[in-house]
Amino acid sequence: MKKGVRGARRQARPVPRASSPLSPVARRIVSGDRRALGRLISDVESGRPEARDVLKELHPRTGRSLVVGLSGPLGVGKSSLVNRLLQHLKGLGKRVGVIAVDPSSPFSGGAVLGDRVRIDRDPSDPSVFFRSMASRGHPGGLSQSTREVIRLLEAFGMDTILVETVGSGQVDVEIHSIASTRIVVLVPHLGDEVQTLKAGLFEIADVFVVNKCDLPGADRAARDLSELAQLSTPVDGWRPRVVQTSTLLPSGIPELWAAVEEHEQALRSGTQLRARLTERADQELRSLLLARVQGSLDQALRPTPAWGSLVSEVVDRTLDPYTASEKAYRRLIQCL
């Protein structure tokens, strides 16, 4: 039976054991040490080589959780929804990791990360781990290391990961590469936003939320979205769902989660899952390789005396820039 293939794997397959024992840091992570997890996330964010080693060790323990992205314009209620979802998921016995990404200031490089303000939870509850991340100049609204941090949360034992980002079209495309279900949050009377999103609106979300449905206009907005969704091409039999929620009342939260689970089910029993995972692995490998090459390039392109004299020759017009660049390229290739 096709149905539940991935679910069965999730439950039945034992965590693969690495042949060598885990390093002390990795051991602390899998044993639930929150301080160690907090620190390792920082090390991963700053790209420390030791952290890369731990990621390698922990990798067999990742890839089994449900990763849900929540994006949408500023202030639509993404964090408030995360808060309500945390309460709902607690009732379902889930262990939840949250990553909330906010943009870094392009001017100072600093950031005020304010998503935590909306979260109301028992600080002694070990079934939730919430981490705020600044985008640190990464274009598109996710941060460079979001994918790695998801893996750390999984290795820590979280079975559900929520990723909040401030959305523009760009982010939504990127979230595709890390989340299996993508929620786009909108509010009533967001006419212009929807207009600008419309072009690709139905490729970027699996579930649409019309939040703040306690305000007038929600029914209308939800109806418009549903009508548009009906016109989209289904993928594995799935057309985007539209759910109305209010985090104030609250209402619609169980319905929202049910839509997420239905989408996961459709993914698992569909034919596109393997293709999606393949595309992701392909992209990740490419970007890791590119980062590596970029590093070597930066290294190789540092100004040297040989480079200086090449530039001088071009200035003195004893050499044309085309020949000079070909010479430089041949040298560069040897360095790489």
Partner 1 sequence: MPNSPTPSAKGKRPIRVLMAKPGLDGHDRGAKVVARALRDAGMEVIYAGLRQTPEDIVEAAVEEDVDLIGLSILSGAHMVLFPRVLQLLKTRKASEIKVFAGGIIPDEDARKLKQMGIRAIFGPGTSLQTIVDTARQLAGKRAS
Ligand X SMILES: Nc1nc2c(ncn2[C@@H]2O[C@H](COP(=O)(O)OP(=O)(O)OP(=O)(O)O)[C@@H](O)[C@H]2O)c(=O)[nH]1
**Given the rule CB under 5 A, which of 13-21, 76-84, 176-184, 312-320 is the region that contacts Mg ion?**
76-84
Q: Does residue 211 touch Mg ion according to CB under 5 A?
A: no
Residues that bind ligand X (CB under 6 A): 74-80, 115, 118, 166, 211-212, 214-215, 246-248
Q: What is the DSSP letter of 235?
A: B
Interacting partner of 74 out of Mg ion, ligand X, partner 1, none (Cβ under 5 to 8 A depending on kind): ligand X
Looking at residues 113 to 132 of the shown chain, list those that interact with partner 1 (rule: CB under 8 A).
113-114, 116-117, 123-124, 129-132
Residue 335 is encoded by which pair of tokens? 């360095």
Q: Do residues 218 and 185 lie in contact, with contact meaning Cβ atoms separated by under 8 Å?
A: no
- In sequence order, the β-bridge partners of residue 209 are 185, 243
> Which CB atom, from 249 or from 301, has the smaller least distance to ligand X?
249
Helix (H, G, I), strand (E, B) or coil at 175: helix
Q: Does residue 74 touch partner 1 according to CB under 8 A?
A: no
Going by C-alpha positions, the residue among 154, 120, 180 that lies closest to residue 15 is 154
Interacting partner of 45 out of Mg ion, ligand X, partner 1, none (Cβ under 5 to 8 A depending on kind): partner 1
Looking at beta carbons, which residue is closest to ligand X?
77
Interacting partner of 34 out of Mg ion, ligand X, partner 1, none (Cβ under 5 to 8 A depending on kind): partner 1
Helix (H, G, I), strand (E, B) or coil at 70: strand
Task: Tell me how far apart the alpha carbons of residues 195 and 113 are, in angstroms, rounded to a whole number.
Answer: 29
Give me the sheet containing 128-134, strands edge to edge.
128-134, 96-102, 160-166, 66-72, 181-186, 207-210, 241-244
CA dihedral 77, 80, 85, 88 (to 10 degrees): -130
Q: Provide the minimum distance between the beta carbon of 285 and Mg ion in the complex, in angstroms, as a whole number.
A: 32
Binding mask 85-114 for partner 1 (x = CB under 8 A): -------------------xxxxxxxxxxx
> Which CB atom, from 41 or from 76, has the smaller least distance to ligand X?
76
Q: Provide the minimum distance between the beta carbon of 46 and partner 1 in the complex, in angstroms, as a whole number.
A: 4
Which residues would be at the binding site for Mg ion (CB under 5 A)?
78-79, 115
